[in-house]
Structure 1
């Protein structure tokens, strides 16, 4: 039986238990108001009471984040391929891709509501804008880092551009691509939450961002923490799915996933 995954999980689990124990002890010993900082036990109790709204909100946010992440993966890879085809195109267009990373999403989110209306579409676009740049940057790095001797060999044998891209450049860039996708997976949830703060809800379909705002206005800090933890869990689930997919694709042929 392979116990390596269990041993690898012991350290972070042990650290989590220690942090929760200290948190619980300090908040109770100092009698900190639950409105300011609730103890973990109060957060767990509130999460248990609010399972249904938390799950409903998590599903709503998860759908928007998944759409945004899917768009960032498709558009990011396609944009990287276009940019890698020409140094002139890269110099001309890459700064505009960088612009998406530099502009705070909270500053342009109101425009998304004007362009796409309130609800899921604006939230998904917000998620896409936040998460697309890491895919572009990392995939472009992977495409540019292909061994020049292999390029020369493909050129020597008369391989066309599409064949070189499909059989050499894309496979060689997969480690970089999946690095970008892992970063984008977490950012997609962040973008969805910010989008919900601005885009609001449609037909009662409130996400975790709305739940955080509503709970904060009601002074229900334990539920705020529970919603934040649910959002973190969404990001971790998406990150884990991307990591597992990447590991399985790379395990047999690339040393970065061999574990050696």
Structure 2
């Protein structure tokens, strides 16, 4: 329908390019766009990995120590509610390496869902099971391994689906704010560069790759959630009918 309407109304390509022209541009600029896509993928996955490590570890500490949670959780909330587009210029000023500055921005966006859901999940363990572990004098490691972590897994997997998309959004927004240019940059730079040069088909091609990357991340995290929870948790058990 898009292709037909653009052809029927003779819409100029600098307003809305036809899908065929976008596909042609994608093929012609494949090397440049894929290099930028790899940069964005690396930035997104690194920030997501750091968010997982930091969020899970801190969430575990919060679940085990109420005082520590009351001391540090407000700072995590402040970082979450402050738009990354507002603090990205400061990060770019204080961090000399542009890639690390972009990484921090993307990490800030993806970190809070992991932290919050992990802490809530660990505190959501059934109180009867908690009493049972206490009755049998379970060690802190046994309590963590056999009670708290399984209880937090569904919450963590839900947070992972959210954080994956947020890491990509944070990476793109940070690069928009940074206004980086050159060959070793991401898809956001290609979008900015194309808009400045009025190369709208190339801009749509870069936007298409960003969207595809987001879809792949969501599908991957959904598959991981089914693989981890599918055999035992109600949210992922397959039902007939």
Same fold (TM over 0.5): yes
Distance of 2:82 and 2:49 partners within structure 1:
21
Deviation, 1:82, is: 1.6
- Of 209-218 and 222-231, deviating more is 222-231
Deviation, 1:90, is: 2.8
8 Å CA contact retained: 1:71, 1:128: yes
- Of 201-210 and 170-179, deviating more is 201-210
Distance of 1:36 and 1:134 partners within structure 2:
38
Write the mapping of 1:90-239 to structure 2, written as runs, cut at 5 A.
90-201=69-180, 204-239=183-218
Structure 2 unaligned runs (5+)?
A: none
DSSP-derived class of the 1:255 partner: coil
Distance of 2:181 and 2:18 partners within structure 1:
33
Size of the aligned set, in residue pairs, is 239
DSSP-derived class of the 1:235 partner: helix
Distance of 1:202 and 1:156 partners within structure 2:
62
Deviation, 1:76, is: 0.8
8 Å CA contact retained: 1:57, 1:211: yes
Distance of 1:259 and 1:252 partners within structure 2:
9
Distance of 1:114 and 1:129 partners within structure 2:
16
Structure 1 residues 204 and 43: alpha-carbon distance in aligned structure 2, compared to 1, 3 A threshold: closer
Output the aligned Cα RMSD.
1.8
8 Å CA contact retained: 1:122, 1:199: no
Write the mapping of 1:242-253 to structure 2, written as runs, cut at 5 A.
242-253=221-232
DSSP-derived class of the 1:140 partner: helix
8 Å CA contact retained: 2:181, 2:189: no
Deviation, 1:211, is: 0.6
Deviation, 1:218, is: 0.6
Structure 1 residues 33 and 203: alpha-carbon distance in aligned structure 2, compared to 1, 3 A threshold: closer
Q: Which residue of 10, 28, 31 corresponds with 2:7?
A: 28
8 Å CA contact retained: 2:39, 2:186: yes
Structure 1 unaligned runs (5+)?
A: 1-20
Tell me if 1:44 matches 2:27.
no
TM-score by length of 1: 0.85
Distance of 2:95 and 2:15 partners within structure 1:
37
DSSP-derived class of the 1:257 partner: coil
